[in-house]
Amino acid sequence: MCITSLSEKFGIFNFTCDVCGRELFTGARLCDACRAALPRARCICPLCGRSVGEEGVCPECKERRNACEKCRSAFLHEGDAARLVRRYKDGARYLAATLAGEMLPLLPAFADAEALVPIPMTARAVRRRGFDHGRLLAETLSGLCGLPVLAAAVKQRETAPQKTLSRRERERNLEGCFHIVRRAEVRGKTLLIADDTMTTGATVHELASALLRAKAKKVYAVTFTSVAYRDVFGLPPAETLRRPLP
Binding site for Zn ion (CB under 5 A): 17, 19-20, 22, 31, 34, 45, 47-48, 58, 61
Shortest separation between residue 178's beta carbon and Zn ion, angstroms? 22
Shortest separation between residue 116's beta carbon and Zn ion, angstroms? 22
Closest CB to Zn ion among residues 58, 177: 58
Shortest separation between residue 68's beta carbon and Zn ion, angstroms? 10
Can you tell me the distance from the alpha carbon of 224 to that of 194, in angstroms, rounded to the nearest whole number?
A: 9
Closest CB to Zn ion among residues 22, 213: 22
List, edge to edge, every strand of the sheet that includes 190-198. Answer: 70-76, 218-226, 190-198, 115-118
Closest CB to Zn ion among residues 70, 189: 70
Closest CB to Zn ion among residues 30, 116: 30
| Closest of 49, 53, 76 to residue 61, by C-alpha | 49
Can you tell me the distance from the alpha carbon of 190 to that of 220, in angstroms, rounded to the nearest whole number?
A: 8
Name residue 115's beta-bridge partners: 191
Can you tell me the distance from the alpha carbon of 115 to that of 8, in angstroms, rounded to the nearest whole number?
A: 27
Residue 221 belongs to what H/E stretch?
Answer: strand 218-226
Closest CB to Zn ion among residues 50, 155: 50
Shortest separation between residue 199's beta carbon and Zn ion, angstroms? 13
Shortest separation between residue 38's beta carbon and Zn ion, angstroms? 10
Rg (CA), the chain: 18
Residue 167 belongs to what H/E stretch?
Answer: helix 167-174
| Residue 184 backbone dihedrals phi, psi, to 5 degrees | -60, -35
Can you tell me the distance from the alpha carbon of 164 to that of 145, in angstroms, rounded to the nearest whole number?
A: 35
Can you tell me the distance from the alpha carbon of 53 to that of 44, in angstroms, rounded to the nearest whole number?
A: 8
Shortest separation between residue 124's beta carbon and Zn ion, angstroms? 32
Closest CB to Zn ion among residues 114, 239: 239
